[in-house]
Amino acid sequence: MADTISTIPVTAALNRQPGFLHAVAALGLGAFAIGTGEFAMMGLLPEIAQDLAVSIPMAGHVISAYALGVVIGAPVFAVLTAKWPRRTLLVALMLFFVAANVASALTTDFLSLNSLRFIAGLPHGAYFGVATLVAASMVAPQRRASAVGLVILGLTSSTLIGVPVAAWLGQSWGWRSAYTFVAGLAVLASVWIYVIVPNSPASAGASPRSELGALARPQVWLTLAVSAVGFGGMFAVFSYIKPILTEVSRLSLAMVPLILSLFGVGMVVGSMLGARLADKNLLRSIAGLLVWNALVLSGVALAMEHPLSAIIWVFLLGTLVAIGPALQIRLMDVAGKAQTLAAALNHSSFNVANALGAWLGGAAVTMGLGWTSTGWLGATLAVAGLIIFIFSVKSEHTQAAMH
């Protein structure tokens, strides 16, 4: 429940809007740095491939290595640092991220780069988990999703600003400059967090054992399954959006970067609106947003046949991230005392969604079903996520009635 979240003492200073906004802005800058580092490489694979003498598909392994680091690092860091004060932990995670990106910029061989991208992904989930907990603890319970949404806004806005800047640097000065840029952002975030964010203690009684207790809670696993399955639909389509736009929508290759910027706009709008909806009614918001996912994804096949509707649909695909803040709060509510681990695992589940959606989408295309078959596949995943969520809520009500 919401009252299980460890809260910073309610003081007049902490509840002043400017103080809260400064703290969230600092946390958001860290999210912006991480998001830039995660997504920028998708646009620089040709440069990496040429410099390190590998194929472009082979260069894509750096993206998979990072995602694997996120999946593994989130629970490991959450458990090992359970007793750390939260500001201290956030700064340490940022500095770890700085070191991994500096090392990535200095590496000269492909194997080392893959290893370093795996290492760079390790603090990702734990950072977002702790940052969202800190933000949620600074506001009234009915405003938690909005606070979480502001932190996640740093991640979504990176696709609009950070990624294009990193891509420009990478194309102009070499791909290593993009990692240097990301490291610089993370250094600024570290300093700002240290200066602005209150150093709240860990939850009372927090320990590695108590954090691992989240894994014994069925509702935690069900909520993670909603994320991994229900959110995988967006990745099933977006992983192949470039060939969809050029081969199905018949748009020129030169227009693709501009059109994809609309995806970033959709992500920003979606994360803000999704947070507001979750504050009003969390469970209905999750169900409704899963339905929205299914509707948008099922329309891909028809919409992508026409250039104008395809452009609109790219924006709508971005809005599907609206479910992110709601699922983060749901995990906080069902995790009991294992707040940090549950919040961190949410980002592991999103990366599982990324891998699952991309893999299933690729399988559909390989089977000869066509690029837009990824939309029907994505809608199916969204409906499956909705079914899991309905089962989760009903089982929760049944358990509550028994007690």
In terms of Cα–Cα distance, which of 62, 338, 6 is closest to 204? 6
For the ranges 42-56, 232-246, 283-297, 311-325, which has the lowest average pLDDT? 42-56
Q: Which position has the token pair 């993670």? A: 224
Q: What is the pLDDT of residue 334?
A: 85
Same domain, 258 and 270: yes
Same domain, 176 and 231: no
Same domain, 52 and 90: yes
Q: If residue 296 lies in a helix (H) or strand (E), which one and from where to where?
A: helix 282-298
Please give the Cα distance from 146 to 211 (Å, whole number).
25
Q: What is the pLDDT of residue 12?
A: 35
Q: Answer yes or no: is pLDDT of 100 > 80.
A: yes
Q: What is the dihedral of CA 3, 5, 8, 10, to 10 degrees?
A: -20
Give the CATH number for residue 166: 1.20.1250.20
Q: Answer yes or no: is pLDDT of 51 > 70.
A: yes
Q: What is the pLDDT of residue 255?
A: 83
Q: For the chain, what is the mean pLDDT?
A: 84
Same domain, 167 and 282: no
Rounded alpha-carbon distances, angstroms, from residue 105 to 73, 109, 143, 172, 173:
21, 11, 40, 15, 12
Q: Which position has the token pair 């069900």? A: 222
Mean pLDDT of 159-164: 81
Each residue's pLDDT tens digit, 69-88 = 888 888 888 888 878 888 99
Same domain, 179 and 235: no
Report the alpha-carbon angle 229-235-237, nearest 5: 120
Domain limits for position 201: 1-205
The residue ranking higher by pLDDT, 135 or 338, is 135
